[in-house]
Structure 1
Amino acid sequence: MAPTLSNRGKNQPVPGAKNFSRWMVVVLTLLLTLALTIGAIALLYNTHIDGQQRTEFAAQQQQQQIEKLSWFKLNEAETALVNHHHLDCIQILAEVPETYSLYPRIEYLQEECYTPLASGWLAEAKKLAREGHLKDAIAQASKISGGHLQAQAQHYIQDWSQQMLDLASKSYGGETHDEFQEAITIARAVPQNSPLYETSQNLLKQWQQEWSDNERYATMAQKAFDQGDIQAAVRAAQSISLHPAWVTQRNHWLIRANDTEQAFEKIVQQANSLFDQEKFSQAAQVIRQLPDADPWHLKKTELLTQIEAQHQSHDWSSVVIPIIGALVVGVMVKRIF
């Protein structure tokens, strides 16, 4: 039997139904993916928020621990202050963690604990200064590194440093080598933290250089005298400074140079006098006492040259005169006969 028209319609699929089903699957898949993504994002966000909260909570806990420790240390410092253990108080406060909320309290206790301690150091420094122990006084006052007494301590340190330099300068102006050494010792004792430390170092260099130069010039003067170079000795002596410890030696060399020149001048006069008396050998013996340094070497050479010329002239005369005498006698005898 051939199928009817109505049966063919029941067995055929509805047009577009298959495509619709496919689209529904896609849409549902996208919706599911979106839902999962949103869920994941929400989970991550909640995890981040939870971690941040835990971090903040931990920080708060740590801050509370710090404040608790700070209060404990502050109470300990206050106990030390009440018992007048000022150094212990300062050491305890140094262990207190810096907390903004507690800073005014810490600052107050530092001042209360440090002031009596600094006052004691300054009083001890003043006592040492009165006893003449200026170096120790400066060291004691230098312990004060803060508080309202620091400016006062610095004033005393500068004043005591100046006193040390004054004492050093006075010793340096002395007439002995021991005083020079004392001046160097005092100037070296000025501590590096003193505002006059650089000044003390400059004075040390200046004094040591002057002393070294004077020693060198004195050695040069002695050497020149030993060599008979009086002019060089005078130049060296005149280069010695007018320092009180060196003036005596400087004048000694200059006076000795003057006396030596006068003695040499007398030798020249004596030799010339003997030469004029034709005592040539004696004149040569005297003039040879002069040193081999100008101008005396030149004067010695000139006179010895003249003496040598006289000796040569005398030797020539001793030969010629007898010959001439013999000739004259021969002529006279011939005339007689």
Structure 2
Amino acid sequence: MHQEAEAILLTEIFRAQGKEVMPRDTYELENPVVKMPGTEFMEKISAALEYFIRERLNTDPEWKDIKVILSDANVPGEGEHKIMSFIRAQRSMENYDPNTRHCLHGHDADLIMLALASHEVHISILREFDNPNGRIPARFYQFVDIWILREYLELEMKTPGCKQDTERLIDDFIFICFLTGNDFIPQIPSLEINEFAVDLLIEVYKTTFNKMGGYMVNTDKIKDKYGAYLEVSRLEKFFHELSLCEEKILLKRYELQEKLLRKIQSEAAVKEWAKGEDRGEKKTSFAQQFFYPVETSLERKSDDVVRKNTRELWRTVSDIFCNKDDLFKNGACKQDKVSGVYC
């Protein structure tokens, strides 16, 4: 939703620059329905995977001693949840070796949370991401070692002067991260991960731990289906402390957005002025260009140019969201008075 709002704003700026883009209702960014279970696409993927595995097991000597379990779209459940269910099932076996090492590959950050929630130490997650420079098309890989992440969380989450249980701190960390949203629940509007919302949540948790009176998640009655897993009174205190930062965050976000808009408008004005000088044309103010864009007919522009402009627009939107200022470090959570609200 935030991206759509940015795209509408940038569309006006692009038109002010003489760049026509395709109407939003004439194209789709991606059609997720095509990749859903039960579709022809997923049936072909399943058949190709089964063929590939059988071919490798029969012909590749390096696959000779490998056990392969295929759980495709025909088996209900999300991939990462099925993987973690398999690991939990292994742990319940009598002859399970606690030093067994697991390596998971996937993009979804849920894998990290599920690995932490398993309280299994020896898990590594292999993640793939694009070239950060964006110029050369390349793929990069990174390892997330869960045992190292656990150590960092223990250092980051602990409240000075308190003797705390690392496993319960990790349970609380997983829970408070739900506030940034996931596949099943919406996020709190003032919490954006690319604005370092996780840092804010940890900071509020540490400063509120003693006021809350302890941990928020209670797993003592996990085998009792009527057991209470959340200490609601403690959660209320945490929400109260977190709410004191909300107005400041939203105001800071608005300020940064306005600053970015002014920068884009200024750059567009300079470009238009330079173009007018080169052609020796009569110059108009940027306000006139922005609020009364020069008419540009789609018939005078080829479809390729319009499509190119549209791709550029969405790349710009993506860049804006990838390079947002760090609100946490820019003072969104420091003690500061804004309309009677303290953060």
Range into which the TM-score falls when normalised by the shorter chain: under 0.3
TM-score normalised per structure 2? 0.19
Q: Name the structure with the higher helix share.
A: 1
Higher relative contact order (CA 8 A, sep 6+): 2
